[in-house]
Structure 1
Amino acid sequence: MTTPQLIMWFAIGALGLIGSALFSGLETGIYTLNRIRLHVLAHAGQPNATVLQRLIHHPNRLLGTLLFGNNIANYMASVAITALLADAGRTDAQIVVINAVILTPLLFVFGEVLPKDLFRSHTDTATYPFARPLFVTQRLLTWTGLLPLVDGFTALLNRIIGTRAGFGRTLHPRRVVTELFRESAGQGLISDYQSDMIDRVLQHTHMRVADVMIPWNQVVTLRTGQPLQSITDLAARVTHSRIPALDAHGTFQGVVDVIDALLKDADPAIPIDSLIQPVPTIQHDHPLPDALDTLQQKQAPMAIVMRDHHPAGLVTLKDLVEPIIGDIEIW
């Protein structure tokens, strides 16, 4: 074997070993890739992230590309070493033994174990640079007909056994976001508390004010014309610092701040009417996020919940934020 031929076979063997390591590492790297970071980078127009997102969108073809590439690389390394051993005068039996004793462990350690561990530990930094080479490899395998052939056999097998590939199913965007954040929590990028809060925020959007309000029959109220002394009598029995006030016909007029009333230096016999403050009203079927926005815009600590033009309950900021951050013992 001439010197150029030796160089060629050494190059083929080296490329095979490197290729085996890359395809094995990429297989692990892509499946451990943080999807939130990928979506953010792709949305920002980062080229490698855009290519990776396109590849991941077709997982069957991506897996086929990785497996084909890995097997081709292993075959290149095996053929190259066999050719070099044959040129060194080794017999066929010796070549088989050397392949089994040296080549197989070599490929297993340097072509499988180490690259998989490397890409798993540094997936976000090691995977992105190889997005375009992987895309080119997939194109080449498509043009040669290998990937379409595998896709055809897969579709035929699924039809025969009566199953459908689950990769193509469409998930609700809210479900996708939930799964992405759970994945980030599993990788330690966000805490369990943050993950739980995100879950509650997503569930929060389905809830209505009627789900968290205090029913009107449980609300302590005042009547216009009552003296300030009546607030002192009620202060020990209410859990809210503001009490709704109704007129003689039961029509809602506003709320009275208990603390302001107790601190006010005035005749206890005068009516409470001068202390009545307006508060917003919210429909019972209002979504919780919209209700929270309303209270924030109005800078109001509570609102009266209405149903068919009649009070149905009372809701406070505490009632609206607890579904997100959990129970608040002190308010």
Structure 2
Amino acid sequence: MIGLLVVLVLASAFFSSSETGMLAINRYRLRHLARSGHRGALRVERLLARIDRLLGTILIGNNFVNSYAATIATLLAIRWFGNLGAALAPVAITLILLVFAEITPKTFAARHPEKIAFAASGPLRLINLLLAPLVWVVGGISNGLLRLFGFNAAKPADDNLSPAELRSVVNEAGPLIPAAHQKMLLNILDLEEITVEDIMIPRNEMVGIDIEDDLDHILDILRNAQHTRLPIWRNDPSNLIGTLHLRRVSRLLMHNEVTKADIMQMSSEPHFVPEGTPLHRQLINFQHHRRRLGVVVDEYGDVMGLVTLEDILEEIVGEFTTDMASSSPDLLPQDDGSYLVDGTAHVRDVNKALGWDLPRQGAKTINGLILEYLQDIPESNSAFRLGDYLIEVMHVKDHMVKTARLTHSPR
């Protein structure tokens, strides 16, 4: 009988560790291994597809062996100690089951769920078949009770990750994902929170061709352009009529044979982008329309600026420079730790370059941020505090802040 008791305790440990291993296994790694053809993973995935039946099999088996073990322990105790053994048996068998059949196997299974789940999947599948009628009856009663409370145990659980949860998974990946790749993955997840206005080249900084200008001036722009694609407008950037790829006119430029008619003929229709378009959507639009340059327009159809495919890619892979704060022409570090910032600089760019947390809701530029906070056009040399930042207006011209001094000064 002692041998039988040992077998029952081991069987109880098997069921306990199987339950913990099955429930603690990483579902996404399991799915990956199953798709790779791993036999153990395939068995576990099939068992977990009906979690109610799996739990029914484990709990029926576990309760059966525990009850049987308690009966055997009581008989042995009575044989050895008489009536006193009947009182000692429940205490002894409880301690034995807790240590050897519950805490120890479950702790090991929680640390190594794959080893336990894969090894136990074969026997559990066989036990599931043998106990199928009993599992069906018990499961039917249990599922009926759950339906009274509005739950459907047969319905698969929704284990899809939200963007915030996926971001947490990437952050906690540690050495499994290189730091550079981790940053790129996080940047991709952030694309849906960033709109084209956050990264566009504003209208007042657009470099393009006014087709009504003198031809010599247009040729000078073409020869000195730092971009491969230029917008073309008539009299005003709001009247945008096309975009020109410089590669198309490079041969004519070499022979000074370019005319306005050639420019118009070689230009393509502009690709307009509504304001508020998330970057992940615009990236798909660029791919779908086979474009690399988009013209951002507001609800009235007025041109707000330009957004390029390269700008979106930089949001994923990062800026093509190692020290944004020192290389940006919009940020000039001062000896006292402050920064002279151009009013047209984007708030988001300043935050990224300096690791700050200036408000990004609403205004996109430093000038817009100041005007939005003050609700007025400030005078030069005026200053105010915005959260943990001191902002001093240095120069105002044409109803906008041209330069401001920003200092990070926590309260």
Give the TM-score, by structure 2 length. Answer: 0.56
Query: Contact between 2:242 and 2:270, CA under 8 Å: does it hold in 1?
Result: no
1:105 is aligned, of 95, 101, 106, to: 95
Q: Which runs of 5+ in 2 are unaligned?
A: 275-279, 329-411
Q: Tell me, in whole angstroms, the C-alpha distance in 1 between the residues paired with 2:150 and 2:159.
A: 22
Counterpart of 1:123 in structure 2 is 113
Determine whether 1:150 maps to 2:138. yes
Counterpart of 1:290 in structure 2 is 284
1:96 is aligned, of 76, 87, 103, to: 87
Structure 2: which amino acid aligns with 1:246? I
Determine whether 1:17 maps to 2:5. no
Determine whether 1:168 maps to 2:155. yes
Q: Tell me, in whole angstroms, the C-alpha distance in 2 between the residues paired with 1:211 and 1:19.
A: 64
2:52 is aligned, of 47, 60, 64, to: 60
How far is the alpha carbon of 1:148 from its aligned partner? 2.0
| Cα deviation 1:261-316 (Å, max 9, x = unaligned) | xxx9999xx99999999789656489444346579xx8x8x423489xx9885322
How far is the alpha carbon of 1:82 from its aligned partner? 2.8
After superposition, the Cα gap between the structure-2 partners of 1:229 and 1:278, relative to the gap in structure 1 and judged at 3 Å, is closer
Q: Greater helix share, 1 or 2?
A: 1
How far is the alpha carbon of 1:91 from its aligned partner? 1.2
How far is the alpha carbon of 1:39 from its aligned partner? 0.6
How far is the alpha carbon of 1:108 from its aligned partner? 0.6
How far is the alpha carbon of 1:151 from its aligned partner? 2.2
Higher relative contact order (CA 8 A, sep 6+): 1
Structure 1: which amino acid aligns with 2:284? D
Number of matched pairs:
299
Over aligned residue pairs, what C-alpha RMSD do you find?
Answer: 4.8
After superposition, the Cα gap between the structure-2 partners of 1:185 and 1:107, relative to the gap in structure 1 and judged at 3 Å, is farther
Query: Contact between 1:35 and 1:180, CA under 8 Å: does it hold in 2?
Result: no
1:134 is aligned, of 107, 120, 124, to: 124
How far is the alpha carbon of 1:197 from its aligned partner? 5.7
Q: Tell me, in whole angstroms, the C-alpha distance in 1 between the residues paired with 2:8 and 2:170.
A: 34
How far is the alpha carbon of 1:51 from its aligned partner? 1.4
Q: What percent of counterpart residues are identical?
A: 22
SS of equivalent to 2:20: helix
Q: Tell me, in whole angstroms, the C-alpha distance in 2 between the residues paired with 1:131 and 1:181.
A: 32
| Cα deviation 1:8-67 (Å, max 9, x = unaligned) | x23321221112112211222122211122111212222221111111112222222222
Aligned pairs for 1:42-57 within 5 A: 42-57=34-49
Counterpart of 2:210 in structure 1 is 223
Query: Contact between 1:256 and 1:275, CA under 8 Å: does it hold in 2?
Result: no
Q: Greater strand share, 1 or 2?
A: 2
Q: Tell me, in whole angstroms, the C-alpha distance in 1 between the residues paired with 2:182 and 2:151.
A: 32
Query: Contact between 1:28 and 1:116, CA under 8 Å: does it hold in 2?
Result: yes
Counterpart of 1:252 in structure 2 is 242
After superposition, the Cα gap between the structure-2 partners of 1:291 and 1:30, relative to the gap in structure 1 and judged at 3 Å, is same
After superposition, the Cα gap between the structure-2 partners of 1:32 and 1:184, relative to the gap in structure 1 and judged at 3 Å, is farther
Structure 2: which amino acid aligns with 1:223? D
After superposition, the Cα gap between the structure-2 partners of 1:159 and 1:124, relative to the gap in structure 1 and judged at 3 Å, is closer
Counterpart of 1:26 in structure 2 is 18
After superposition, the Cα gap between the structure-2 partners of 1:84 and 1:327, relative to the gap in structure 1 and judged at 3 Å, is farther
After superposition, the Cα gap between the structure-2 partners of 1:62 and 1:292, relative to the gap in structure 1 and judged at 3 Å, is farther
2:200 is aligned, of 214, 235, 244, to: 214
How far is the alpha carbon of 1:201 from its aligned partner? 4.0
How far is the alpha carbon of 1:75 from its aligned partner? 2.0
SS of equivalent to 2:81: coil
Structure 1: which amino acid aligns with 2:33? L
After superposition, the Cα gap between the structure-2 partners of 1:43 and 1:51, relative to the gap in structure 1 and judged at 3 Å, is same
SS of equivalent to 1:78: helix
Q: Tell me, in whole angstroms, the C-alpha distance in 2 between the residues paired with 1:181 and 1:130.
A: 33
Structure 1: which amino acid aligns with 2:138? V
After superposition, the Cα gap between the structure-2 partners of 1:107 and 1:169, relative to the gap in structure 1 and judged at 3 Å, is closer
Q: Tell me, in whole angstroms, the C-alpha distance in 1 between the residues paired with 2:18 and 2:171.
A: 22
Counterpart of 1:38 in structure 2 is 30
| Cα deviation 1:108-158 (Å, max 9, x = unaligned) | 111111111111111122321111111222222223x2x222222223323
How far is the alpha carbon of 1:214 from its aligned partner? 3.1
Q: Tell me, in whole angstroms, the C-alpha distance in 2 between the residues paired with 1:166 and 1:177.
A: 26
Structure 1: which amino acid aligns with 2:230? P
Structure 2: which amino acid aligns with 1:155? N
